[in-house]
C-alpha cells in the first residue's frame, strides 16, 4: 500500500513504467490538465465555476489514483513473472547437470562448495575421500579436494579448486554458456612456492565470466562486484589460515578436533584410531609452525576474533548480507570456512566473543530455506 500511495498522482504512472523498465507513454491530456490546471492555455477547468472546478479536480485525482494503482500492480506482477522466469531458467539449467563432489567433510574449501551448491539448490552426490589413501580420486592427476565432476549431456567436466568450482557454476547459472567453454576461462598455472614445491594456481578464479548486461543484472554496479571478489579472496588467503591454529591450539582442542574428523571422515577402524591420537599430536605441533608462517599473535584467538569483526564491519549495519537482501558469493565463502569449526571450542568462543553470530545465523537460515 505504501508503494501504491507514492503513485497516486499522475506522475506516479510514469514512475510505475520506469520501475518496470518500460518507456512511459504520454498521459491523456484531460487527466494532466484536470489536476495541474491550465499549464499552457485555458483548460475547461480554468473557466468553470468553483464547484465544477473542485468536482473535476476530485475526479481527476481519483482517475490518477486508479491509474497509479493499476500500473503499480502491473509492475509488481511483471516483476514477479520475471523472477519466476529466471528461477525456471536456472532450474532448467541445473537439471542438465549431474554433479559429484569429492571432498573431506571437515575441509573448509569443501565446505565453501557445499554452501554454494545448497544455497543454489543444485543437487549433488558426495564422495567422501579417504585422506590417507585417497583411492577415490585416483582417476585425477590433481590430488587435492574439492574436485567436482559435472556431467552435462554427453560432456563430463572435472572442476578443480573451490573458488574455480564456484565461479564456473555461477557463470553457468547466470549466462547459460556450456560448462566445457566456461572452464577454459580458468586455466591452471604451475609454479614453485617458497619451499620449492610445485603448486597449481588458477587464473581468474574470483571472476564470473559474464557480459555487461548479465553483470549489471547480478551486481547493479562495479563496486559490488569488486567487493565480492575482494572478500572471496580474503576468505581464501587469510580466513582459512586461521582455522587450523585455532582448532589445534591446545592438546585438548587438537584431540577433540581429530575425534570430530575421524567421526565425520572416511577412515578404517585402525586408521581412525591412529589418526585420532597421532594426528592430533602432529597437528598440535604443526599449528605452531603455521602460527609463525602466517605471523599470528601468540593468542591465535585474537586473530580469529579480529577477522570475524572485520568481516561484520565490512557487511555493515544497513544490510543483512554483503550481497544485500540475500547472500552473495563472499557471504557463502566466509560462512563455509567458519562452518567447519561448528561443535568445537574455537567456534563457541568465536560466537561468544565477536559480533558475527547474527550474520552467521542469517546465512544458515538462507541456505536452509533455499535448499528445501
Indicate whether 134 pLDDT > 70: yes
Residue 273 confidence (pLDDT): 83
Q: Which of 71, 102, 104, 321 is catalytic?
A: 104
In a domain, 101, yes or no: yes
In a domain, 1, yes or no: no
Q: Which of 102, 110, 248, 360 is catalytic?
A: 110
CATH code at 314? Answer: 1.20.1050.10
Place of cell 535448499: 371
Phi, psi angle pair for 131, to nearest 5°: -70, -10
Please write the tens of the pLDDT for every residue from 189-239. 999 988 888 889 999 999 999 999 999 999 999 999 999 999 999 999 999
Indicate whether 13 pLDDT > 60: no
Residue 92 confidence (pLDDT): 60
In a domain, 65, yes or no: no
Residue 93 confidence (pLDDT): 62
Residue 47 confidence (pLDDT): 32
In a domain, 349, yes or no: yes
Phi, psi angle pair for 138, to nearest 5°: -65, -20
Residue 341 confidence (pLDDT): 97
- 321 assigned to active site: no
Q: What is the largest CA-CA distance in the chain?
A: 100
Q: Which of 71, 75, 107, 202 is catalytic?
A: 107
Please write the tens of the pLDDT for every residue from 327-341. 999 999 999 999 999
Residue 198 confidence (pLDDT): 87
Distance between CA atoms of residues 71 and 285, nearest Å: 67
Residue 157 confidence (pLDDT): 96
Distance between CA atoms of residues 179 and 172, nearest Å: 6
In a domain, 51, yes or no: no
Please write the tens of the pLDDT for every residue from 287-319. 999 999 999 999 999 999 999 999 999 999 999
Q: Give the H/E segment covering residue 354.
A: none
Domain range for residue 353?
Answer: 76-371
- 110 assigned to active site: yes
Domain count, the chain: 1
In a domain, 67, yes or no: no
Asked whether the beta carbons of 272 and 136 are under 8 A apart, the reply is no
Percent share of the chain, pLDDT over 90? 63
Phi, psi angle pair for 245, to nearest 5°: -60, -25
Distance between CA atoms of residues 83 and 87, nearest Å: 6
In a domain, 132, yes or no: yes
- 109 assigned to active site: yes
Determine the 3-state secondary structure of 192 from DSSP. strand
Indicate whether 113 pLDDT > 70: yes
- 75 assigned to active site: no
**Of 261, 272, 227, 312, whose CA–CA distance to 103 is shortest?**
261
Whole-model pTM?
0.75
Indicate whether 260 pLDDT > 60: yes
Residue 197 confidence (pLDDT): 87
Please write the tens of the pLDDT for every residue from 14-68. 333 333 333 333 333 333 333 233 333 333 333 334 444 444 444 444 444 444 4
Q: Which of 71, 102, 109, 284 is catalytic?
A: 109
Of 179-183, 247-251, 284-288, the poorest mean pLDDT is in: 284-288
| Strands of 147-152's sheet in order across | 124-128, 97-103, 147-152, 155-160
Average pLDDT score over the chain: 81
In a domain, 167, yes or no: yes
Amino acid at each position: 500500500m505504501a508503494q501504491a500511495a507514492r503513485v497516486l498522482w499522475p506522475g506516479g504512472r510514469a514512475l510505475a513504467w520506469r520501475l518496470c523498465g518500460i518507456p512511459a507513454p504520454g498521459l491523456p491530456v484531460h487527466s494532466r490538465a484536470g489536476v495541474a490546471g491550465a499549464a499552457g492555455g485555458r483548460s475547461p477547468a480554468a473557466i468553470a465555476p468553483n464547484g465544477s472546478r473542485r468536482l473535476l479536480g476530485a475526479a481527476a485525482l481519483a482517475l490518477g489514483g486508479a491509474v497509479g494503482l493499476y500500473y503499480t500492480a502491473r509492475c509488481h506482477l511483471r516483476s514477479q513473472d520475471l523472477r519466476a522466469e529466471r528461477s525456471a531458467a536456472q532450474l532448467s539449467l541445473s537439471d542438465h547437470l549431474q554433479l559429484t563432489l569429492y571432498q573431506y567433510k571437515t575441509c573448509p574449501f569443501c565446505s565453501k562448495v557445499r554452501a554454494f551448491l545448497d544455497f543454489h539448490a543444485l543437487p549433488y552426490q558426495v564422495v567422501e575421500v579417504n585422506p590417507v589413501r585417497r583411492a577415490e580420486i585416483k582417476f585425477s592427476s590433481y590430488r587435492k579436494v574439492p574436485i567436482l565432476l559435472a556431467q552435462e549431456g554427453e560432456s563430463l567436466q572435472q572442476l578443480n579448486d573451490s573458488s574455480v568450482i564456484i565461479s564456473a557454476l555461477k557463470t553457468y547459472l547466470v549466462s547459460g554458456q556450456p560448462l566445457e567453454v566456461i572452464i577454459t576461462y580458468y586455466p591452471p598455472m604451475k609454479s614453485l612456492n617458497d619451499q620449492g614445491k610445485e603448486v597449481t594456481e588458477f587464473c581468474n578464479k574470483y571472476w564470473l565470466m559474464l557480459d555487461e548486461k548479465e553483470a549489471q543484472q547480478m551486481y547493479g554496479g562495479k563496486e559490488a562486484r569488486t567487493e565480492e571478489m575482494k572478500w572471496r579472496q580474503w576468505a581464501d588467503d587469510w580466513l582459512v589460515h586461521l582455522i587450523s591454529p585455532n582448532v589445534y591450539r591446545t592438546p585438548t582442542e587438537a584431540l577433540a578436533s581429530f575425534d570430530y574428523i575421524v567421526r565425520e571422515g572416511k577412515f578404517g577402524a585402525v586408521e581412525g584410531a591412529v589418526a585420532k591420537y597421532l594426528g592430533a599430536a602432529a597437528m598440535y605441533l604443526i599449528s605452531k609452525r603455521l602460527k609463525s608462517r602466517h605471523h599470528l599473535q601468540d593468542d591465535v584467538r585474537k586473530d580469529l576474533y579480529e577477522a570475524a569483526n572485520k568481516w561484520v564491519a565490512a557487511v555493515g549495519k544497513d544490510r543483512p548480507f554483503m550481497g544485500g537482501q540475500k547472500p552473495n558469493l563472499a557471504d557463502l565463502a566466509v560462512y563455509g570456512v567458519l562452518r567447519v569449526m561448528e561443535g568445537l571450542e574455537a567456534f563457541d568462543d568465536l560466537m561468544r566473543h565477536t559480533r558475527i553470530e547474527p550474520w552467521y545465523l542469517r546465512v544458515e537460515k538462507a541456505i536452509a530455506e533455499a535448499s528445501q
